[in-house]
Amino acid sequence: MGSPPAELLEARGVRVHFGGVKALDGVDLTIRRTEIVGLIGPNGAGKTTLVNVLSGFQRPSAGAVRLLGDEVTFWPPDELARRGLVRTFQSIRLFPALTVFENVEAAAVCVAPGRRAARAVSRELLRSVKLEHRADDAARELPHGDERKLGIARALALRPTFLLLDEPAAGLNEAEGDELVALLVGLRDRFALGLLVIEHDMRLIMALCEQIQVLDHGKTIAVGTPAEIRRDQTVRTAYLGTDARGS
């Protein structure tokens, strides 16, 4: 059953032009709350630029962004985060000298009604991402896979309705990628999140996402289920750079 119309993150006709370069050229996107959407495309397709527009880090040249029924096109990132739109970055940006627990608490205090509530939220989130046993370790001591989990826990501490993840599986091996898929599905279900995931790991995207949107040269070239995207000749050609029907 679909979400009510207001429980959407929407982009309509988004354009971002840098001089003569059209990083985005009229892109639409819709994410429903509790839906997991993958955003894929070749390098330079405009994926991160679109996420930057959605999260307030890039002003569009044209177009509109709506969040939970409100137009938020030019809202700054902090106001969007308070409204429920949070993003992660390819670079995790942890506080390396703080403990794992303190990294989550630093985000939780921004929205929790007091320090005690922030600490309770932090403990819950570390359990949710299976890092409670590392709570007292310095963040710089974590292996790469656990750094990724901590980045997600810190984003969740801001209580998002929509969470935008920029390459959350970067640097993970296959087993860690499988664990991430299970983790994200569980978090979506537990916290009723809408997720937008940029990722180059097609195996992970196909296993995780219910809908996939494909960009190429700043335009949407396909939207569909994983099975539909896998069969789409336009997508195959964009990725391989040639007519891929025989491959």
Q: Which residues fall within 8 angstroms of residue 156, CB to CB, at 6 or more apart?
A: 86, 125, 128, 163, 187, 191
Assess whether pLDDT exceeds 50 at residue 246: no
- What are the residue ranges of helices labelled H in the chain? 47-54, 77-83, 100-108, 115-128, 144-156, 174-191, 202-208, 226-231, 233-240
pLDDT digits over 184-199, tens only? Answer: 999 999 999 999 999 9
Is the pLDDT score of 243 beyond 80? no
pLDDT band at 238; cut points 50, 70, 90: confident
pTM as predicted: 0.90
- The residue ranges of every structural domain in the chain are 6-84+160-247, 92-158
Average pLDDT, the chain: 91
Q: What is the per-residue pLDDT for 155?
A: 95
pLDDT tens per residue, range 171-184? 899 999 999 999 99
pLDDT of residue 93: 83
Q: What is the pLDDT of residue 73?
A: 97
pLDDT at 237: 86
- Contact between 9 and 54 under an 8 Å Cβ cutoff? The reply is yes
- Position 36 confidence tier, pLDDT thresholds 50, 70, 90: very high
Instruction: Compute the distance between CA of residue 63 and CA of residue 28 in angstroms, rounded to an integer.
Output: 9
pLDDT at 5: 53
The answer to whether residue 3 scores a pLDDT higher than 70 is no
Tell whether the model's pLDDT for residue 24 goes beyond 90: yes
Q: Which class in CATH covers the domain with range 6-84+160-247? A: alpha beta
Q: Output the CA–CA distances (angstroms, integers) from residue 44 to 104, 117, 145, in the order listed.
A: 32, 42, 26
